[in-house]
Amino acid sequence: MKKFDIPEHYRSSIISIIKERRKKEDPSKKDFSPASIDFGTVEFLIARHFGFCYGVENAIEIAYKTINENKGKNIYFLSEMIHNPAVNNDLKEHGIKFIMDNYGGQYIPWDEIKGNDIVIIPAFGTTVEIEALLKSKGIDTVKYNTTCPFVERVWNKAALLGRNNFTVIIHGKHVHEETRATFSHTVQNAKSVIIKDIKEAGILARIITGEINKEDFYKFFEGKYSKDFNPESDLERIGVVNQTTMLAGETEQIALLLREAVGRKYGIENIKEHFADTRDTLCYATNDNQQAAAALKNRGAHFALVIGGYNSSNTTHLVELLEGEMPVYFISGEDKIIAPQAIKHYDIHLKKEITTENFITPGTKPRIAVTSGASCPDSIVDAVLTKMLSLFTGAKSIDEII
């Protein structure tokens, strides 16, 4: 795996040691069990895989190299490079401006962007339309493009499906930058429809089998299908790809559900003619992080800390994986631990930050599960661990244990 040149303040003095040790013990990544770090008065269960992935480190390297090599130039990001407030705020402090918000809303008018400006395309990629707009202004869309290679792999698979006359079903959130980009690239070669979850997949399956009429398709999936989409003919041959930050297990469930529907409609003996195998598009990092989070279950943890940006899709899914098993506190950094017995955390259902008092039971030795999203620097995880340790009198020192 390539080693990236990222700023030192994103690196870790604690987590890096744990990760390196696990890497030496398990180089083939077959063991997803967490590492147990016992400080005497508190124990941490550290997920096997978490934090910066290949695509994120690649984007960060390109961004800071661009800053260092282009002093005095206007440097823009199309939108947030990754969904982490600490990283994006750091980039702003280095003078980078953001053209749009996460949903395509404009901060800076396009007519203010000139041909000699630098525009960095984020790890999520961008739409064909925006890329064409940048090119029309004479802006380089190759040198400063940080699109994750695993996102591009999804685009390439979708293009291949389209050339073979398959309609592409995209499992994703239709407002997310990556899904908007994937949809834009996909419709250049194929009919396409976006579905958010297994529930919407069930509706699509019933449309395929004829249990729901085609008029209802347009109502259920308004704003989520390609131009001139005809559910009667365009759902005869399908393949499933995903927004790489979605739950990989749910993508697989969706594919299985739709495969079964196609089998009922056209006969299982004809399945290869009507359903494409697209399992090779799942992102390895998302899958590893999710499996590692799932392995935190049934370990006797009193609660979990999931660390990352509140608008991070992949981090939200880690919360979903754990919240049925134990209390989960989704925090963006150590500053959310506001008192020995109080923590501010994001509720993904209420979609707001709330405060929980007495989150640590007095007089107990808590076992705390810890993981973070793919856009969260390990240095932030370090800071959270250090802050948590400070709450426990008599805890062994980090140097002594690590």
Query: Percentage of residues in the chain with pLDDT exceeding 90?
Result: 83
pLDDT digits (tens, 9 = 90+) for 30-85: 899 999 999 999 999 999 999 998 889 999 999 999 999 999 999 999 988 888 88
Q: Which structural domains are found in the chain, ordered by start?
A: 8-53+286-401 (3.40.1010.20), 54-136 (3.40.50.11270), 165-281 (no CATH)
Q: What is the Cα 111 distance to its own chain's centre? A: 31
DSSP classification of residue 238:
E
pLDDT of residue 362: 84
Query: pTM of the predicted model, to two decimals?
Result: 0.89
CA–CA gap between residue 89 and residue 91 (Å, rounded): 5
pLDDT of residue 104: 85
Catalytic amino acids?
178
Looking at 187-283, list the stretches that DSSP marks H as alpha helix, in order from N- to C-terminal side: 198-208, 214-220, 231-234, 248-266, 271-274
**Segments of the chain scoring below 50 in pLDDT:** none
Residues 6+ apart with CB under 8 A from 30: none
